[in-house]
Amino acid sequence: MSALAAPPSKRLLKGNEAICLGAVAAGCRHYYGYPITPQNDIPEYMAAHLPALGGTFLQAESEVATINMMLGTSASGKRVMTSSSGPGISLMQEGLSYMAGSELPAVIVNISRSGPGLGGIAPSQGDYFQAVKGGGHGGYRLIVLAPHSVQEMYALTMLAFDLADKYRTPAMILGDAIVGQMKEPFVASPYDPASTVEKPWALTGCAGRERLNVKSLHLKDNEIEVHNWRLHEKYERIRKDETRAEPYMLDGATIAIVAFGTAARVGKTAIQWARKEGIAAGMLRPITLFPFPRREVFELARKVDVLLVIEMNTGQMVEDVRQSTPLHDRIAFLGKPCAMPTPEEILERIRLLAGRKV
């Protein structure tokens, strides 16, 4: 049954399926991918639905081929997406560097699992560094969006396409096995693009114009230096204009959780419980991991007693939190590598930090 044909009423939907609906709503008709747990719902959905929409689903021979097929489709001016998990995303790093260098938009979904190596299929946020610090060679950034609900898997996928096109750069959805596999009530809101972007750079054949190249090789004079500064200026513009974070119950908060994705979702429950006990807890949830909400963290750190950073790893985003504020003694960390923290253990830490007996 086509989920597309369903009326826009509330229904139960998986996070991975919400990504597909968002992509299709945003006009993505080209998907390339390679099987890997825990994201197989996405290629399976695309295989079932894209052909009927006049699009392309292609199961590539590897993630290396996948990202390069995306490069070709993106250079053609078309919206294109893939999804994978840690080991597959690693194989895509070469192509991501080329796409960043060639300034090609695309959306890459990482429903991350445990690592390093083959790791495991348990949910993890261990790919944070890889996602936000570049990942491949040569110095570049991806726009990284971190959904924490099924509804947001949908909305942020649409946003990812818009931002990728606007800035001519690959954008990543950094999810995890929980937010990908869980089902929640969902309403398909209409796609409302922030702006439509022309693609005069697309390679469509040189009829009526000079020939165009899409490339990342710059050998002449100081072309590559100029290119690097231009990319840097673009990333600075993204930092300035596209940073997104959700403040949650921060009014009067003395303890503020900083967490993204599934960790943030669980943290919200712990905050509600803490508030019931009279502890003024709240949360700042980065929605964009690059650009990281530095200013928001800086200002929040001055207002609260404690920033409790929670991650499903041994501490990666916490480095960006430290970089955002000089008040390092206010930063506490709760790490759960390759596992979901429970609201109980978060509440216990909140109580400790509040000086309560546990």
**Is residue 200 classed exposed, middle or buried when 0-12, 13-18 and 19+ CB atoms within 10 A define those classes?**
exposed
Q: Which is nearer to another protein, 7 or 54 (CB)?
A: 54
Residues that bind another protein (CB under 8 A): 30, 32, 56, 58, 60-62, 64-66, 68-78, 80, 94-95, 98, 102, 203-208, 211-217
| Minimum CB–partner distance for residue 108 and another protein (Å) | 14
Closest separation between CB of residue 261 and another protein, Å?
A: 29
User: 3-state class of 13 per DSSP?
Assistant: strand
3-state SS class at 53: helix
* Closer residue to another protein (CB): 122 or 212: 212
Nearer to another protein (CB atom), residue 201 or residue 298:
201
CA angle 107, 110, 111 (to 5 degrees): 135
Measure the CA–CA gap between 124 and 121, rounded to whole angstroms: 9
Smallest separation, CB 28 to another protein (Å) = 12
What's the residue count for the chain?
Answer: 358
Q: Which is nearer to another protein, 98 or 128 (CB)?
A: 98
Angle at 306 between CA 144 and CA 325, to 5 degrees: 55
Q: How far is CA 315 from CA 95, 164, 215, in A?
A: 27, 28, 36
Q: Which is nearer to another protein, 52 or 207 (CB)?
A: 207
In angstroms, give the least distance from the CB of 193 to another protein: 20
Instruction: Name the nearest CA neighbour of 97 among 149, 135, 123.
Output: 135
CB of 150 to another protein, least distance (A): 30
